[in-house]
A and B are shown apart, each in its own frame.
Chain A
């Protein structure tokens, strides 16, 4: 396959490969169109406990408990869910828990729904104010490199790290189905 086409379709596989490389054993997520492929890869993996959440803030407790118990965990969420987590992020900074969050962005490129814009436009600042390092990826070819770097610093340095996966990377939402 043409490497460009492959990267465009299979960037979630690059993320999954890093989760496996680092031995991530739990993922918490709220169902999300942009993360569908990654969620399915994790659900099909017997070495990863997949925990479907009612709200993203539950995930911050989950990763904290996982670390206490000696496992690595990651969270998958949409930008609108980041605001749900703010007070829970204090767990990470107070206790020095690692936390890797992969965020599918809304409210930016080709957004159809204006209600997504507010949280999308303050997602990165919210993370920074909450003590996170943030990375951003818009091109599929760069997912492997950036996500790999983010994973390493999260787990090697016990730091909260977020990767914003740009809406351009995920593609236009089809509304007429």
Chain B
């Protein structure tokens, strides 16, 4: 079982010009904890939208790599997006779900994945050609290479410990997050 902050730090090591979209709650804090980066688009709401923002971005920037880093609860709320991405088959998009099987933001209630609902199997069924469940630190280097150079859409499910870590809060101003991201992308 992985430590979520270690997983994100390893995944984003030497990130280069990778474009990152984060799902609300702990994934936003995890990515901010690695480092503030202008090419992070942090979500603070719109739960269930992260994967679709990734799709719109990946279609608009076909020569860049996009990774969506989100939680199991956020992914479960937008499962249809996996089917939509499966139809569109964007080669430059990866979805990485940090799965702690709980809703950390609302008091650690169990999510559907805690009852055995298998997100990697769902992604596979949605025609993701590249799906990976990781639970050990040594496995992360391989998926990191994939998000930079592998043929997508790629789905990664990181099995992490359920723990409530200190929050690292980036700005909540959506306009600021957007302008910073778009200026860095130019």
A63 and B60 alpha carbons, distance in the complex (Å): 10
Interface string of A64-94 (1 = CB under 8 A from B): 1111111101000000000000011011001
Binds A, one of B45-53, B101-109, B142-150, B158-166: B45-53
List of A residues within 8 angstroms of B185 by Cβ:
68-70
Interface string of B1-25 (1 = CB under 8 A from A): 0000000000000000001010000
Which of A54, A60, A68 is the one whose CB lies under 8 Å from B178?
A68
Q: Which of A63, A64, A87 has the most CB of B within 10 A?
A: A64
**Interface presence of B59 (CB below 8 A):** yes
List of B residues within 8 angstroms of A94 by Cβ:
44-45, 174-175
Binds B, one of A35-43, A45-53, A110-118, A159-167: A45-53
A64 (CB) vs chain B CBs: closest residue: B53
Q: Say how far A160's CB is from chain B's closest CB, in angstroms.
A: 13
Q: Say how far B41's CB is from chain A's closest CB, in angstroms.
A: 6
Interface size on A, residues (CB 8 A): 32
- In the complex, the number of residue pairs spanning A and B with C-beta atoms less than 8 Å apart equals 116
A137 and B19 alpha carbons, distance in the complex (Å): 39
* CB atoms of A68 and B78 under 8 A apart: no
A60 (CB) vs chain B CBs: closest residue: B49
Interface size on B, residues (CB 8 A): 35
Q: Say how far B179's CB is from chain A's closest CB, in angstroms.
A: 9
A51 and B54 alpha carbons, distance in the complex (Å): 13
* CB atoms of B87 and A52 under 8 A apart: yes
Which of B19, B49, B59, B177 is the one whose CB lies under 8 Å from A66?
B59
A87 and B78 alpha carbons, distance in the complex (Å): 13
Which residues of chain B from 38 to 68 have a CB within 8 Å of any chain A CB? Answer: 41, 44-61
User: Assuming A26-B60, A61-B81, is B45 touching A51 (CB within 8 A)?
Assistant: no
Which of A69, A87, A91 is the one whose CB lies under 8 Å from B61?
A69
Which of B19, B41, B49, B84 is the one whose CB lies under 8 Å from A51?
B84
A66 and B90 alpha carbons, distance in the complex (Å): 13
B49 (CB) vs chain A CBs: closest residue: A61
25 of the cross-chain contacts (CB-CB < 8 Å) are A25-B60, A53-B80, A54-B84, A55-B80, A58-B78, A60-B49, A61-B46, A61-B49, A61-B52, A61-B53, A63-B56, A65-B55, A65-B58, A65-B60, A66-B59, A68-B182, A69-B19, A70-B182, A90-B46, A91-B45, A91-B53, A91-B174, A95-B174, A95-B175, A96-B178
Measured CB to CB, the residues of A under 8 A from B are: 25-26, 49, 51-55, 57-71, 73, 87-88, 90-91, 94-97
